[in-house]
Structure 1
Amino acid sequence: MLEFADTHNAGRKTLFVEVILPLAIAKNYTYRVPFDMNDAVAIGKRAVVQFGKSKMYTAIIVAITEQAPEKYEAKYLMDLLDDRPVVTAAQLSFWNWMADYYLCHPGDVMNAALPSALKLASETKIILNKEHGVDRATLHDKEFLIVDALELQPELTVSDIAKLLGQKTVMPILKLMFEKNIISISESVNERYKPRRKTFIKLNSAYQDQERLKELFEILEKRAPKQADVVLAYIHMSRNGARVAKNELAEASGAGTAIIKALIDKEILIAEEVNVSRLLEESGEEPELTATLSEEQEAVLASVRNQFNQKEVVLLHGITSSGKTQLYIKLIEEAVAAGKQVLYLLPEIALTTHVIERLRRYFGEAIGVYHSRFNDQERVEVWQNVLNGSYRIVLGARSSVFLPFENLGLIVVDEEHETSYKQFDPAPRYNARDAAIYLGNVYGAKVLLGSATPSIESYYNAKTGKYGFAELKFRYGGVELPQIEVVSIAEETKSKTIQSHFTSVLMEDMQQALSKKEQVILFQNRRGYAPVMLCRTCAHTPKCVNCDVSLTYHKSSGMLHCHYCGYKEDSPSICPACGSAHLEYKGFGTEKVEDELSILLPEARIMRMDMDTTRAKNSFQNILNELEEKRIDILVGTQMVAKGLDFADVTVIGIISADSLLKYPDFRANERSFQMLAQVSGRAGRRGKQGKVVIQTYDPGHRVILQVIENDYADLYNNEISERKAFKYPPFYRMIQFDVKHKDPEKLFHQAEYLALELRKQFGDRVIGPEYPLVSRIRNYYIKTIMLKFERDSISLSKAKDAIRSMILQFQTTKLSKGCIVQPDVDPY
């Protein structure tokens, strides 16, 4: 048999690429590059690869080499999806750190970082955007086939489409269809994408001539005066080349849409439907580029600037309503003026929507917003705008640390103490505040941490000189701190002056506020109607079938809900254990507070803000708008109401039950209680009126409550830091928690004991457990927890993690580990 030389590819290099796959696997895979792709491959581009026998994935190229893998034969890349990299070198460095620090896989980080639409895989489901209205005349043959198939079957996987077209590489076609808004990704099925379309009006070019326009106007004035009004309004609005929106023209002319339609039918006006950005509503306001600062703020701002010369991170401790946001704005202005990008992190989506309105007064449309409630198209749009530099400022929740910044100069972490910055599931289990500090290191950006109630760790780092420190001690504009009154629930119950869950003091203050047309916020840190349903005869309590927790009754649905796995069942009318009809509800959540308040104050307009009322995409903003526009008198909420809200007419804050915070079995209970109580209290009396805070509790003399009354963070810190040192907790000790899970409790026992024994061989008595956590079964998995606590300075963190990885890998190779899940959580609290 004769062999012929491949003269076409002679002399060309054989390249290989290392890629990250969106899978929880320990190592990156290497693929061979087809010769015709040699010039196109680049680090940060997406590649379509085959993994396993038939699965296709979108992978990220992280290295290019001429070295073939030694242990296996490299498969060929199937395709490239990008003309330019969608992930930067700085991002890849950040991903590597996160995988290493948080003991997870690079694929876990990739999954968290990239919007779903950027990581298509074989089993990704594709849906048709029917709302978009597909113009079949513009479709290519293969696009036509896909649209036809999707009209017959609502969802198809990428594999299905590959079979339909009879080819393996379909992702470039799907990418193009996604960009045209023809298809969407089914991960967004609950928030189906509706492109934001706006109709603009323009005058037919035949009437651009002044004489013809004059003739037209005279005819319309005689025969259709309302149509003449529309044309006149259009001429006025379109001066200086401004585009005229159909709805704005209707409003300005006082004419209905039917009259505008008549002009369009006569071809006097032409309507154009345009896709406009879904990310920000047009404000209609000119940007304001100044924020007036007080003398104290000016001095603190100068101090922060000065400290940034020596320190990479500065902690700004400012009491509630001291004007921290105004300092952020000044520093953001300076960073943007220097040509830098800015990341402004907030702990809650609710805060993001609230703060964006304030910041847009200063920066106009230069701000991008990014959080988990966005659908895939919106996330991709933000991603691309950050990558190409269109957004100088990004405001977002914790996931925005993953965006592809090019020139990041400043990171602001507002409310840096918040637990919402911690990702608990799935991996990576990162803290966005800590990740932001490392991100600043990657880009050489300065990091400002801001809080009225800093975390003990951050305050310790500032006090020991690791961070810079600045402090705002007074409220902006000389507004006094709210008056705080602590009321004993026990005494009011004894004297029979309490109504339902509201003491006489709180009721009187609410009634006074309502009479003055002022607003009230009530805080209760439990959602639902009643946390526990109890049989008075046999004490039976309904529990979740999947988790080791009692079910919470929700009156709105009439069902019992599990807040861990989402399981629901009908509320029984008789006890399933003994048949008794004597069932009662114990405890209370926000739903019950709202319900009973509507009976006691029937004239008040009451609304609830918790996870149940804010599931829809714009629900946060809708509630905040109604509060701001004074269509709500009393807002009842969980911890969402404690964070950063700033409304002029909120003068009374009621904390329904402080004890649920104070009695929690956690070494951070006092710190978190102080933070929550101080933050909720800080929502009162922020604009010229002194507010009033009523704290209802069974323990009025509790140390934390007295510290909140005195606004004495220093006393809290001094008490907590001495206890942390004595009992070996952060910031003096590092903590890594291991959750060991199995569906069989007996197998779990042996697995957890084995893993703890292996850890003790390396770390000795620094290993605690295994123990059952407070909730020992979730989603049918039984859980045991092992805690590793070791000195911050005497043991190398990187060596400890290397040992942990080896132990987990060795454990997973044993038969004992079958069916077991081990989840490491670094800095678990």
Structure 2
Amino acid sequence: MQEFNDIDFTERDTLFVEVILPLSLSKNYIYRVPFDLNEQTAVGKRVIVQFGKSKIYTALIKTISQMAPALYQAKYIIDVIDEYPVVNSRQLQFWDWITEYYLCNEGEVMSAALPAGLKLASETIIILREEISLDDLEITDKEQILIAALEKQKRLTVDQISKLLGQKTVFPLIRSLLDKEIIYIAEEVLEKYKPLLKSYITLNPFYQEEGNFKHLFEVLERAPKQLDALLTYIKLSKTGIEISRQQLLEESSCGQAALKSLLDKEIFFLKKKVVSRLNDESDDMILNFKLSAAQSVALQRIETEFQTKDVVLLHGITASGKTQVYIKLIEQAIEKGGQVLFLLPEIALTTQIVERIKRYFGDAIGVYHSKFNDNERVEIWNNVMNGKYKIVLGARSAVFLPFKDLKLIVVDEEHESSYKQNEPAPRYQARDAAVYLAHLHQSKIILGSATPSIESYYNAQNHKYGLVTLNERFGGVELPIQEVVGIAEETKKKKMVSYFSSVLIDDITATLERKEQVILFQNRRGYATILICKTCGFAPKCVNCDVSLTFHKSSGKLHCHYCGYHESSMNICPACGSVHIEQKGFGTERVEEELSLIFPEVKIARLDVDSTRTKNSLQKIIGDFQEKKTDILIGTQMVAKGLDFDNVTLIGVINADTLLNYPDFRAFERSFQLLAQVAGRAGRRDKRGKVCIQAYDADHRIIKQVVDNNYLEMYNDEIAERKQFHYPPFTRLIFINVKHKDSNLLNAASARFASMLRVQLGSRVLGPEQPLVSRIRNYYIKQLIIKSDKATAIHKVKAVLKQTIADFNAENTYKGVIIQIDVDPY
């Protein structure tokens, strides 16, 4: 289809547009443009279209032509939404690459890329915000009708709103109410990461005039506490600037009630400001820091590598100060007038690095991830597009933002598995996607980690990437002392107290006596991994999935960690009636309970998915630990990600074997990364830390390599094994999940699909086999693996796979069978 991107059209031209719909479709569709919309039509703009008999969607124009489709009569687009394109040409190229590389369709990419507010559809649910004030807003008659309807109905779909108002398209009206923050979209996820807000008091400008100020004294003579608040404010403020509410309450005798009266009388004004969670020492260090000699050398080497390579891997040990090096590189990119994308694996768990960079660079920064509400995401999208934001800090979805002039991409903790999108499609790897994005923009990209992925280090060793190392901790901080404790030996000597060795208990006791803090790591959540009847062996399983239920004592229920199903705990065996129920395995809940019995006076908190479900709970847990309100923090791998606490001097790993024994070819690599990262939380600034690793297999080579901080030995061992057994980076993997609710039909379908693939791919196709979890959400699963060596062009393998899926779907025998593709499943 011929493209017309920069051509002006007249009302006399007959135009057709190829549009991307936010649906999982095998192809794009072509619509005709009404003559009166010709001049508004442009690639990258959104249009309203009817798809099917009655559904209305927001689609995106990909191409424009004057050629009608050959096989069907094109429907007319209903309207053009945008004055200017919301997606640029580089983004469309990026979408094409994602579609081709990860074997998905453009509609799935569009759904992942655009904020919900930019892709309204008939089924989109609209909800009225609580406690809204309409006094100062201009509301049209139709907006008022919709507001009244939402007050009564609570929620309405776009389709219902269209019928209510008697007009085919209501998207502009909904967008208007979204902009006025009167309504929100039900797809919106409550923000789990919130910036820390602090309340500040300022004097009403009216009373800052001398005559009015004197009168104020006379008014407050009969209210001594309010007068004291005013005098304290004057003393603390001096220049009339705001002071914190907390400081005013602490240094005056006014109390909450008197301060509320001053606010109600509008003598004082209250405003909330985003502040750093870091203490003043950290802030000053970031604002005024100078690179150490080692950091300066690393920066110079990166600059040298960038002269010949676009991708550089920065391998810097924990606490080596990689962030300061990033900041200098960001400064250079901004000085050239460009934009910077700073990717972090999980924004909610990296609040400290976010706050540091925001404090250093100021308001030219946007933070973007899916936990923010829709209005915020649309606003950030627009600010990136218009160039207002020079720096964007984001989780993996930030790669889809509309950058105009991207000069630098930073991928921090590049080894993190959370850069990989698992569900739904597109199942992309944000680190790898960022490398291609940098190529599109002809920009530079730096990958940083203390424990690089095997693939990235292999690329660096083979000179595809530049490699720079940073082997010194910043400020002369020593690496922690590491001790391995054999659980079997401790058990034999009867030195284990619950799940804690005598060594770990002694270390915890000594740490607490020094008024320092402890982090304990156990990579399983819940209370007991499984409940089992000691009489007949019955163990409760999920009704929807092929997994045992995990007991959570906090809720008193058995939970499925795959589909969310839960039921009451088992006190009596439903199979035989026995009351002899045994708890097997243990998670963070159990560790927390047992530790509370050993240290009853100590304040303990737990950081895992279950303890951070409620609004602001994550912020409170981390904030309390930062402020030393909590002595011991117990957590899953969440405690290993981006947390930097000055007062933590002891890390305890409760059971390292749970990581090492996972049946996956990456298990040892991931174990090393996680143990090294969690160990890196111990000892910062002027305090040397200690790490105590408990394990049954205390002599395991990975544990020894972690203790020796020997990444290179781990890499050499792993790379030799992968070469021998033909695993990445020497081969490429594609996982294929075949799913259906009927297990017999699935068995036949997966065998048929495998035989079709083998016609052209032969022994490169492995399976079908049952995966570890063979049923999820009532869908049975069979898995095939395509293992392609480097000699075989991967694009040819993908072409065969795409055609085989099309041929398979054309066979009526297996209707309803779902085929899911996962390219580079790691």
Please report the TM-score for the alignment, with normalisation by the length of structure 1: 0.92
1:248-287 CA-to-partner distances (Å, cap 9, x unmatched) read 9888987567667767887x8597x99x999999999899
Aligned residue identity for 1:50: Q
Equivalent position SS for 1:328: helix
Deviating more after overlay: 560-569 vs 571-580: 571-580
Is residue 2:387 matched to residue 1:407? Answer: no
Q: How far, CA to CA, are the matches of 1:627 and 1:137 in structure 2?
A: 42
CA contact (8 A) 2:320 2:473 kept: yes
Q: Counterpart in 2 of 1:6? A: none
* Gap change, CA 1:11 and 1:536, over 3 Å in 2: closer
What is the CA–CA distance in structure 2 between the aligned matches of 1:790 and 1:65, rounded to whole Å?
39
Most deviating of 457-466 and 713-722:
713-722
Q: 1:388 aligns with which of 355, 379, 386?
A: 386
List aligned pairs for 1:87-236, cutoff 5 A.
87-135=87-135, 138-188=138-188, 203=204, 212-213=211-212, 216-217=215-216, 219-220=218-219
Contact 2:277–2:623 (CA<8 Å) still a contact in 1? no
Answer whether contact 1:202 1:244 (CA < 8 A) is retained: no
SS of the equivalent of 2:426 reads coil
Check conservation: 2:518, 2:632, Cα contact below 8 A. yes
User: What is the correspondence of 1:706-785 to structure 2 with a 5 Å cutoff?
Assistant: 706-785=704-783
Query: Which range is displaced more, 39-48 or 549-558?
Result: 39-48
Aligned with 2:822 (options 820, 825, 829): 825
Which deviations, in whole Å up to 9, do the C-alpha atoms of 1:105-151 show, x marking residues without a partner? 11111111111121110011100012223349732110111011111
Q: Secondary structure at the match of 1:152?
A: helix
Where in structure 2 are the equivalents of 1:449-528 lying within 5 Å? Answer: 449-528=447-526
CA contact (8 A) 1:193 1:375 kept: no
Question: C-alpha displacement at 1:61, in angstroms?
Answer: 1.4
The match for 1:608 among 606, 609, 614 is 606
- Distance in 1, Cα, partners of 2:434 & 2:683: 32
Shift of residue 618 of structure 1? 3.2
**Structure 1 pair 369–254 and aligned structure 2 pair: CA distance change class (3 A):** farther
Q: Percent identity?
A: 57
Asked if structure 2 preserves the Cα contact closer than 8 Å seen for 1:348 and 1:640, the reply is no
Shift of 1:624: 1.8
Question: Following the alignment from structure 2 to structure 1, what is the Cα–Cα distance between the partners of residues 347 and 761?
Answer: 40
1:374-395 deviations in Å (ceiling 9; x for gaps): 1222222222222222222111
Q: Is this contact kept in 1: 2:277–2:352, CA < 8 A? A: no
Cα pair 1:558 1:570 within 8 Å, conserved: yes
| Alignment-derived partner of residue 527 in structure 2 | 529
Structure 2 counterpart of 1:220, one-letter code: V
Alignment of 1:574-585 (within 5 A): 574-585=572-583
Report the Cα distance in structure 1 between the residues aligned to 2:163 and 2:235, rounded to whole angstroms.
57
1:30-109 matched pairs, under 5 angstroms: 30-109=30-109
Return the alpha-carbon distance in structure 1 between the equivalents of residues 742 and 435 of structure 2: 41
1:17 aligns with 17
The Cα of 1:288 is off from its aligned counterpart by 5.8
Q: Distance in 2 between matches of 1:245 and 1:81?
A: 44
Residues 742, 820 of structure 1: 8 Å contact kept? yes
What is the deviation of 1:620? Answer: 2.7
1:144-199 superposed Cα distances (whole Å, 9 cap, x missing partner): 11011111111100000000001101011000011001111012276699999999
Shift of 1:506: 0.6
Name the amino acid aligned to 1:402.
Answer: F
1:478 Cα deviation from its structure 2 partner: 2.1
Q: Note the residue ranges of structure 2 that are not aligned, 5 or more in a row.
A: 1-8
Q: Find the aligned partners of 1:218 and 1:574 in 2 and give their Cα distance.
A: 72
Residue 700 (structure 1) aligned with residue 734 (structure 2): no
Per-residue Cα deviation, 1:295-354 (whole angstroms, up to 9, x for no partner): 111111100011011111000111111111111111112112222211111112333323
What's the offset of the Cα at 1:231? 7.0
- What is the CA distance between 1:289 and its match in structure 2? 4.6
Q: TM-score, normalised by structure 2?
A: 0.93
Instruction: Confirm or deny that 1:801 pairs with 2:784.
Output: no
SS in 2 for 1:613: helix
Task: Report the equivalent of 2:331.
Answer: 333
Question: Is the 8 Å Cα contact of residues 12 and 35 (structure 1) preserved in structure 2?
Answer: yes
Amino acid at match of 1:811: F
| Contact map agreement 1:136 1:144 (CA 8 A) in 2 | no
Measured after TM superposition, the shift of residue 812 of structure 1 is 0.7
**d(CA) in 2 for partners of 1:270, 1:824:** 60
Structure 1 residues 224-233 or 774-783, which shifts more? 224-233
Instruction: For 2:666 and 2:362, locate their aligned partners in 1 and report how far apart those are by CA, in whole Å.
Output: 40
Cα–Cα, structure 1 residues 564 and 208, in superposed 2: closer, same or farther, change >3 Å? closer
Change (3 A) 1:540 1:264: closer
The C-alpha deviation readout for 1:710-763, integer Å capped at 9, x for no partner, is 111111111111111111111110010100001001000011001111111111
SS in 2 for 1:162: helix
Distance 1:303 1:229, change over 3 A: same
What secondary structure is seen at the aligned counterpart in 1 of 2:467? strand
**Residues 368, 393 of structure 1: 8 Å contact kept:** yes
- Whether contact under 8 Å (2:198, 2:275) holds in the other structure is no
Aligned pairs for 1:306-321 (under 5 A) are: 306-321=304-319
Q: Secondary structure at the match of 1:156?
A: strand
d(CA) in 2 for partners of 1:270, 1:499: 56
CA contact (8 A) 1:767 1:787 kept: yes
Q: Give the whole-Å Cα distance in 2 for the aligned partners of 1:621 and 1:11.
A: 56
Inter-CA distance 243–41: structure 2 relative to 1 (3 Å threshold): farther
Q: Find the partner of 1:561 among 556, 559, 562.
A: 559
Question: Match of 2:4?
Answer: none
1:288–1:317 Cα change, 3 Å: closer
Distance of 1:770 and 1:336 partners within structure 2: 51
- CA spacing shift, 1:240–1:445, aligned 2, 3 Å: farther
Distance in 2 (alpha carbons) for counterparts of 1:728 and 1:450? 27
Alignment-mate amino acid for residue 356 of structure 2: R
SS of the aligned residue for 2:424 comes to coil
Which residues of 2 match residues 310-459 of structure 1 at below 5 A? 310-459=308-457
CA-to-aligned-CA distance 1:78-110 (integer Å, 9 cap, x gap)? 122222222222111111110110000111111
**How many residue pairs get matched?**
815
Cα–Cα, structure 1 residues 42 and 194, in superposed 2: closer, same or farther, change >3 Å?
farther
What SS does the corresponding residue of 2:168 show, helix, strand or coil? Answer: coil
Rounded Cα–Cα distance in structure 1 between residues aligned with 2:354 and 2:10: 58
The 1:780–1:679 alpha-carbon spacing in structure 2 relative to 1, beyond 3 Å, is same
Instruction: Give 2:734's aligned amino acid.
Output: I
> 2:142 and 2:601 mapped to 1: Cα distance?
61
Maintained 8 Å contact 1:373/1:617: no
Alpha carbons 2:21, 2:28 under 8 Å: kept: yes
Q: Deviations over 1:687-717 (max 9, x none)?
A: 2222111111111111111111211111111
Amino acid corresponding to residue 212 of structure 2 in structure 1:
L
The 5-angstrom pairing of residues 260-299 of structure 1 reads 289-299=287-297
CA contact (8 A) 2:529 2:585 kept: yes
The amino acid that maps onto 1:150 is L
**Aligned residue in 2 for 1:3:** none
Task: Structure 1 unaligned segments of length 5 or more: list them.
Answer: 1-8
8 Å contact 2:788–2:794 — kept in the other structure?
A: no
Moved more, 561-570 or 598-607: 598-607
Distance 1:10 1:339 in 2: 37
Q: Partners of 1:520 and 1:750 in 2: how far apart?
A: 54
- Structure-2 change in CA distance of 1:691 and 1:352 (3 Å): closer
